[in-house]
Structures are given as C-alpha cells and as structure tokens.
A and B are shown apart, each in its own frame.
Chain A
Amino acid sequence: MTALVGYLGIMLAIASAFILALLGLRGLYDPQRVPRRYLDRAVVGVVAGAGLAFFALEVGLLIDDFSVAYIADHSATTTPFVYKLATGWAALEGSIVLWGLVLAGFTLSVHLAYRRSDEPDPLWMGALGVLGLISVFFFGLMATVSNPFQVCVEAATVGCIEASNIPWAASMASLEGPGPNPLLQNHPLMAVHPPLLYVGYVGMSVPFAFAISALLRGESGDNWLRRTRSWTLVAWSFLTAGIVIGGLWSYEVLGWGGYWAWDPVENASFMPWLVATAFIHSAVVQQRRGMLQAWNFVLVIATFALTILGTFLTRSGIIASVHSFTQSPIGPALLWFLTVVLVGSLALFATRIHLVASAPRLNSLASREGAFLFNNLLLTVFAFVVLTGTLYPMFAEAISGTQLGVGRPFFDRLAIPISFALLLAMGLGPITPYRQARASVVWERIRTPLRVALAVGAGAVLLGYRTGYLVAGVMAGTLVISMIVRHLWVTARRASVKQGTPMWRSLGRVMRNDPGFWGGQISHVGVALLAIGIAISANQGVETQVTLEPGQTVEFAGRELTHLGEFARQEPNRTVVGARVEIQEDGRVVSVLEPRLNTYFRSNQPVATPAVDTRLRGDLYLSLTSIGSGRISLDLFWFPFISLIWVGGVVAAAGGLFARVVRKPVRVGAVAREAGEDV
C-alpha cells in the first residue's frame, strides 16, 4: 500500500514536471500563449506528487511497513521516533526523495513569487521550465535506478533479499529490519544536517534556472540576478548552516575530536559553497558597476554543476568515504546528467557570449571592484584546489593503477594561505571606495582596527599562545571584526548627528536601511569568528590517552578527572556501556561526564560516543576507547574556544538571512538616497 501510494506520487510528479517543462519553455518564447492556470496546475502537480512520495515514505517508516524494501533495509521496529523520521533521508533512495521535495518547494516559491504579475514574464516562465526539467530528472531517478518504493518480494528474517520495481508485485514483509547505520542514529544532529544541506544545494537550482532562461532568451543585464538574489542568499545561508552542522555532528559523534577531515564528501559540499560565495559577491559588482556579466553566468553554472558533482561523488560509491553507499546504478545516471548540464549550459553560454560580455570598466585595482575581483580569484582558486585534490587520486588510479593519497597536508598547505588572503580581503574590501581608492582614505579607516588587532595579538602572546598561525589567525579575525564595528559606528554616528536621533536608534536604522550590505557584514563577522575558533583550537588543542582504575584521578588541562564507575543500560535500539567521570576545577566539581560505547542491534562494532563539556573558554572532550574489568581507557582532548566555530557558522548563516528577510523601509523623497549597496 505504502509503496503504491508513494510510487503514484512519483509518477504524478514526473508527469507534472514534464508538463511544467513544456509549458515553461513554450512561455519563454511566447508567454501570451501559456495561461497562468496551466502553470498553476503543473506546479501543484509537482508539489503534490513530491509531497505524497515523501509522506508515504515517512508514514511507511513510522508504521514499520517492511514490505517496502527501503524500509526493511534501513529501519527497525526498535528505532526511536526521530531516527525513523530521519531514516527517510539517511540512505540513498530516501535522500533523493527529500531532494525532490525540496526542489518542488523551491519551484512552488518561484511560481508564487511572480504568478500575480500582469506583465508577460518570459524569463520567469523559462526558469519554471528549467526547474521542470531538473525535476523530471530527479523524479525519473526515483522511478528507475533509485526507487525508494521497491517492494520486497523475498524477505529475510532481517531485511529484504530481493526487491521488485513493480509496486503491485506480491510483496513479502520481513518481521524486522537492521535499523539505520549506527553512526547515523547516534546523534539527533543527523536529522537536521541533511535537510539543511539539501535546501542549500537545491536552492542553487533557482538562480541556475533563471540564468539558463536568460541565456536562452539572449537577455543581457542584471534582471535575472536581481530576481534571484533572495533565493541565492537563502540557499547560501542553509548551505553554510548545513556544512557547519555537519562539522559539529562529526565532532560530537566520531570521537576523534575533529570536525573537518577534507573527506571527499565534505569537499563536495564545500566546493559549491565557495563558488556560490564568489557568485554572491560578483553579482554585486554587476549590479553596481555593470561588470562581470559573463562571469556571473559561469559562476552560477559552476555552482549548480558542483552540487550535482557532489551528489555523484558521494552517492555513486566511486570514492571511499563515510558518506558513500554501496555500488548503485545511480552513479552513471548522475554522471550523464552532469555531462548534459555542463555541455548544454556551456554550449548555450558560448553561443550567447557576444550578448552578455561586458566592457572592461575597471578604473583601478585599488578599488572596491578590485577587491571583489581579488575575492573572486581567491574563492574560485580555492574551489579549484579542493576539486583537484578530491579528483586527482581517482584519475591517478585510473591512469596508472596505483593508489595515491591526497589528504589533509595537501589541502591545509594550500587552504591556509588562501584563507588568510581571504580574511584580509574581507577586512579591506568593504571599506574600500568604488572606482578608485586613495591610500589616505583607506589608511584612515584601517588605522584603529589595525591597532585593535595588534593589541589582541599581543594579548594572545602574553596569555601564552605563541604559535605563529594562531596569533596570525586571531589577529586577522579581529581585524575583520573591528573594521566592521568601526564602520558601523562611524556611519551610525554621522546619521545620529545629522538627524538628531540617539545613537542606539541610529545603529539599528543604519543596518535596516541597507540590509544587503550589513547582512554581508554580519556574515563576515561570523566567518571571522569561525577563523579565530579554528586558529586557536587547532593550534592550542591538547590530547592525551589515559587508563583509569575506578576511583583513580588524573590531571588534565588544569582539571582533575576522576573515574567514578561504570554503568550499562539497555535501550530499545542499543546497548549502552559507559563510564562516569567527575571533572573538578580548583577543588570544585564542575560536571560529571559520561563517555559511552553504544552498540546497536545487528551491528557488532560499538560506536564510541564522546562526552563533551562545552564552556566559553573551551571544550573538554572525553572519548571512551575501551571499557571492562573496571578499567577504562580514555582519549582526552582540550580544545580552547572551539565553540567559536559553531557560533561563527550560525552568525554567518544568519547574515545571509538578514540580507534576505529584513526589508528596507520604503520612504519617499530625500531619505531614499541614504540606503546603500548590497553585501
């Protein structure tokens, strides 16, 4: 039943998406001939179909309908509620269903945003058509090589042995499933991370669709950019949050104290983020100065292609990674799609290049435009480095047959200098005037923040932080933040003097008047905080291994840790064994931590679950490596100021939303000039 309903949803979505594609592409050339109500029906069909498929899958999971192979293979009766829901996207086929649902949601929002306009709107219709085409592909995957609603025709005691694509085939339900991958049911963040990331990934389809539509129409100008700004910002914010939460999950679950390993799948999410960030910045240059028209098309096509490449890399099993699933026919399908997208878009772009090429108008490299170009160079080179490092081992192995490792040292060596340059550009860019910046003006604006950064750097040295990278990172981050604070302060004070309003009101008003620019600055503060967090925790972290008898105390990072005893308990889906460790600081008990080993049913490998005591000054991180016969072995970590990374990530994502959500107060006449530029 579940399978049939879900499969019907997929069919409805495919048919509607196909019609939407036809209508939209027709409307691109002849908008008068496409009545809005036809578009309405097609969009509603896609949304209803996607919703039905997702709903059927979730209901099937909640009622343990093991006649559906996906549910029999990835869920279990004992799986807790939240993880049953999350299993809906925890494995390959289900994750494509979520992708389809998010895509349908974005299609709906694009449709609703402009359907009331009376003007014929070919750009918008064309964009809906492109979104329709993308939907045909993804729902097509669900109907064929990645069908979440395969029915189980031969059941095992646990799970399903053979499944059929025909939803009404005589099905057999197994009595129990193996449950989700232990790593994925060990922390609630796993329920949050994929949806956030998918909203970010899929949201990038919207600017892509508008760009392709503009190219098909041969339309130059920044119309498509202005109209998709909101979606780009929202998608960027979610992508940022998704990546940071993925890091937090890794930190809280994997037990090695790290949050980023340059794993191919992490890179897969980071590459579109870098290029999307470049796009957000270069779009400002086009809107302000009419430059970089063609470049913006390249960036938006690259962003979209990288989201597909990321899905291909992680889902096809071509690269060994925590995220890859077993070999599946979805790989070739995604590779074909990626090829079609790249070849098609770039060929289209090539035939239109004479229309979209803009004249060089850069007066001087020492200008805001110059800073933006520098920023774009850094971000795209960064993305290119990550891409090279991720794909190189694959190509090298294909060509020479021998394995080649490209890991953290390679990425770090290139990423660290690029990141420092980016931080400096981030500090200098927003205070540099357009067209031509005089050195005296820039010096005037940079002088005080530079001293603040120096003072903080000296403070760090006096506190005993002596590593070069650490001090440089902290100073660069502080420089960015203090430049922004100074800029806000000076602008608000001038407004306050001019209008006679109190300072605190001016601060709010200045930011509200120019949400694009100040949203960007909030994101910059977030990235700077994140950089400071990385610089301190990576260089000043301490690690040690200890073995403790019950009652034994060990000193670590200025604290006394006492092994109070062991515990074991049976939970519905797992067996938990762990130790209670008391933390004392200056003779005071500050907390009792419980690092554990969770053993999930039908899995013999226990999952170490670290216990983390998070405070402003740093995290005490305990990971249990062995337990039994009274003795425990612990990996102890101390990471100063690591929470700045999560805080910074959230602030960065919030900045994007601020730019999107806060609406500039509409006022008539003289005051209208007061507002400012984007980002």
Chain B
Amino acid sequence: MSDGVRKTVAGLVTLALVVIVVVGVAIGDPTPQDRVRALGSSIKCPVCQGEAIADSPSTTATAMMEIVAEQVAEGKSDDQIFEYFRARYGDGILLDPPFQGRTLVLWLLPVAAVATGVFMILGRRQSPTVTAPAGDEPEEPASTVDTS
C-alpha cells in the first residue's frame, strides 16, 4: 500500500468510528425508570440525614419514591412533581436549588472563582516582547531532564 492509500484508509476508519459514536449516542434513549430515579435524587428525604429519597432505604423515602413513580406514570412534568413536594414539605425538600433569589449567590460563586482564576493565569503570561525564543524541546521531553 502506498502512503497516500494508507492515510486515506486510516482517515476513513476514523471517520467511521466517529459516525458510530455520534449516531449511537444520538439515537440512545433513557429508560423511563431513569426519570424516576433522577427526580428522586433531587428530593430530600425528610427523616434522613442529608440523603435523597432515591438513596435512602427508609420507609418514608420509599413511600415518597412511589409517589414520584406514580406521578411520572400519570405524565406529570418535573416541575409539577417538585411543586407537589414543595407544597407539602417546604423549599428545603428540594436538593436542586433553583437559579433564583437566595440561591443566586450559590450559582454565581463558582463562576466568579473561574473568572478570577482565568484572570490570574492570563496575568502570569510574559508580555510577548520579552518572550525568549522558545527552546526547542527534544521529542518526548518528559523523560529527558533531571530535577529530582
């Protein structure tokens, strides 16, 4: 095989693999049970210590999971189900804080942290005028220079 042919074949194989992955993931569907569990892990078990109802073996949690499953089967939306529990147990029952009011800071703090970090990293760059000519590192430098 000539070099050109080999490159073409390698490229085609890579492309085929990409297609398989992308198409496979695109047509994959989550099973209905996933939704019950996902909802259950967003609702706090009121009698447990910091556990979600999906994670707790307690009877209360199991009963609440059954309610979730029933409501999913009835075709209720996520918000309707959350509202059902919030009306009965208060805001604290939801483990997934909504993006509003009191929880705004919670969501904005990580963003602020990332921004600060990026700013600091950019600040560490030398200005281009004083950049030394990049040393030509030998191939695979990881095992060539001693420091320890």
Neighbouring A residues of B30 by C-beta, 8 Å: 467
User: In this assembly, does B12 line the interface, its C-beta being within 8 Å of a C-beta of chain A?
Assistant: no
Neighbouring B residues of A441 by C-beta, 8 Å: 139
User: In this assembly, does B129 line the interface, its C-beta being within 8 Å of a C-beta of chain A?
Assistant: no
In the assembled complex, the CB of A486 is this many whole angstroms from the nearest CB of chain B, namely 10
In the complex with contacts A361-B126, A491-B140, A381-B110 CB distance below 8 A: yes
Query: Which one of A37-45, A451-459, A553-561 is at the interface?
Result: A451-459
Neighbouring A residues of B62 by C-beta, 8 Å: 625
In the assembled complex, the CB of A510 is this many whole angstroms from the nearest CB of chain B, namely 6
User: In this assembly, does B33 line the interface, its C-beta being within 8 Å of a C-beta of chain A?
Assistant: yes
Interface residues of A in 228-267 (CB under 8 A from B): 254-256, 258, 261, 263-264
Most chain B CB neighbours (cut-off 10 Å) among A405, A409, A471? A405
Give Cα distance in the complex from A394 to B136, angstroms. Answer: 53
User: In this assembly, does B88 line the interface, its C-beta being within 8 Å of a C-beta of chain A?
Assistant: no
Interface string of A461-472 (1 = CB under 8 A from B): 110001110010
Interface residues of B in 127-148 (CB under 8 A from A): 131-132, 134-135, 137, 139-148
A256 touches B37 (CB 8 A): no
Neighbouring A residues of B92 by C-beta, 8 Å: 402-405
Neighbouring B residues of A333 by C-beta, 8 Å: none
Interface string of A348-365 (1 = CB under 8 A from B): 000000000000111111
Neighbouring A residues of B52 by C-beta, 8 Å: 261, 407-408
In the assembled complex, the CB of A260 is this many whole angstroms from the nearest CB of chain B, namely 10
Give Cα distance in the complex from A396 to B132, angstroms. Answer: 51
User: In this assembly, does B93 line the interface, its C-beta being within 8 Å of a C-beta of chain A?
Assistant: yes
Neighbouring B residues of A510 by C-beta, 8 Å: 143
In the assembled complex, the CB of A39 is this many whole angstroms from the nearest CB of chain B, namely 28
Chain A residue nearest in CB terms to B31? A542
Candidates A261, A407, A455, A514; contact of B17 at CB < 8 Å: A455
In the assembled complex, the CB of B95 is this many whole angstroms from the nearest CB of chain A, namely 3
Neighbouring B residues of A407 by C-beta, 8 Å: 41-42, 44, 50, 52, 95-96
Chain A residue nearest in CB terms to B15? A454
In the assembled complex, the CB of B59 is this many whole angstroms from the nearest CB of chain A, namely 9
A543 touches B93 (CB 8 A): no
Neighbouring B residues of A471 by C-beta, 8 Å: 21, 24-25
Neighbouring B residues of A360 by C-beta, 8 Å: 123-126
Query: Which one of A17-25, A56-64, A130-138, A432-440 is at the interface?
Result: A432-440
B146 touches A673 (CB 8 A): yes
A410 touches B146 (CB 8 A): no
A261 touches B144 (CB 8 A): no
User: In this assembly, does A513 line the interface, its C-beta being within 8 Å of a C-beta of chain B?
Assistant: yes
In the assembled complex, the CB of A93 is this many whole angstroms from the nearest CB of chain B, namely 21
User: In this assembly, does A154 line the interface, its C-beta being within 8 Å of a C-beta of chain B?
Assistant: no
B141 touches A384 (CB 8 A): no
In the complex with contacts A363-B134, A608-B57, A675-B148, A410-B113 CB distance below 8 A: no
Query: Which one of A97-105, A140-148, A385-393, A573-581 is at the interface?
Result: A385-393
B124 touches A403 (CB 8 A): no
A261 touches B110 (CB 8 A): no
Give Cα distance in the complex from A435 to B137, angstroms. Answer: 8
Neighbouring A residues of B6 by C-beta, 8 Å: none
In the assembled complex, the CB of B10 is this many whole angstroms from the nearest CB of chain A, namely 8
Interface string of A309-324 (1 = CB under 8 A from B): 0000000000111101
Neighbouring A residues of B70 by C-beta, 8 Å: none
A676 touches B142 (CB 8 A): yes
B124 touches A451 (CB 8 A): no
B117 touches A461 (CB 8 A): no
User: In this assembly, does B14 line the interface, its C-beta being within 8 Å of a C-beta of chain A?
Assistant: yes
Candidates B17, B91, B146; contact of A404 at CB < 8 Å: B91
Give Cα distance in the complex from A400 to B101, angstroms. Answer: 12
User: In this assembly, does A288 line the interface, its C-beta being within 8 Å of a C-beta of chain B?
Assistant: yes
A255 touches B57 (CB 8 A): yes
A389 touches B106 (CB 8 A): yes
User: In this assembly, does B63 line the interface, its C-beta being within 8 Å of a C-beta of chain A?
Assistant: no
In the complex with contacts A360-B126, A435-B135, A454-B14, A674-B143 CB distance below 8 A: yes
Ordered by A's residue number, 27 sampled pairs between the chains whose C-beta atoms are within 8 Å are: A263-B50, A287-B147, A362-B126, A365-B125, A373-B124, A374-B121, A388-B106, A404-B91, A404-B102, A407-B44, A414-B110, A441-B139, A451-B13, A454-B14, A458-B21, A461-B25, A466-B27, A471-B21, A487-B142, A491-B143, A514-B142, A543-B33, A625-B57, A673-B146, A674-B143, A677-B142, A678-B147
7 closest A-B pairs by CB: A466-B28, A407-B95, A403-B92, A461-B24, A436-B134, A409-B96, A433-B137
A-B contacts besides A436-B137, A674-B144, A677-B148, 6 pairs, CB < 8 Å: A363-B126, A363-B134, A364-B125, A404-B91, A405-B44, A466-B29
